[in-house]
Amino acid sequence: MDASWYLCKHEDRTLFGPLPFAQLVQWAATARIAPQDLVSPDQETWMKAPMLAELGMDWLVEVTTERYYGPTTLGAIHEFVQAGEITPEHFVINACNGSRQRIAEIESFFSSAKTNHDEESGETPAATRMAINFEERIRDLERSLREERRALRDAEARYRELEERYEELLAVSPSETI
């Protein structure tokens, strides 16, 4: 993995490289490589960064019960906590073994996570943000709430119909039933 590598940022197709693989690992650990970014050893064969196991992008952040970010590294998760994008109370899932735990429960891993921000030679990609679109999330929740209210109204109407039918059946005398 000592050959020269290239990084193509998903957002704007900015290309970084050639650079040593160790630089890619450091960038992944400090939230400079996003799950959608592409890496290549030759600029011909590209793969999404998380597919390269050596980058350690094995973690999903449970932003909400319906939204996840990742896969990413423990170092990137630490960066997101430091930036206030998530809290230690958020859950993370290890994509390798499926375990789910609060970030606060794995805080000891952060001591080994690379968070060194020494000056690097050349250009460095900007830190990746989780970019939680709260307006979109609010619209999703409002839509879900409308659907739940509609389902509740339908269920209540069906309940009333069944209750009326039950009352009708009770009102029928035993001699009239066959």
- Global pTM reads 0.60
pLDDT in tens, 35-79: 999 999 999 999 999 999 999 999 999 988 888 888 999 888 988
- Find all residues with CB under 8 Å of 7, minimum gap 6, and list them: 15, 16, 17, 19, 24, 27, 33, 37, 38, 39, 49, 125
pLDDT in tens, 86-101: 899 999 999 889 999 9
CA nearest to 19, candidates 9, 7, 32, 5 = 5
Residue range 101-147, pLDDT digits in tens:
999 888 665 555 444 444 445 577 766 665 555 566 567 667 778 88
Tokens representing 138?
A: 């609010």
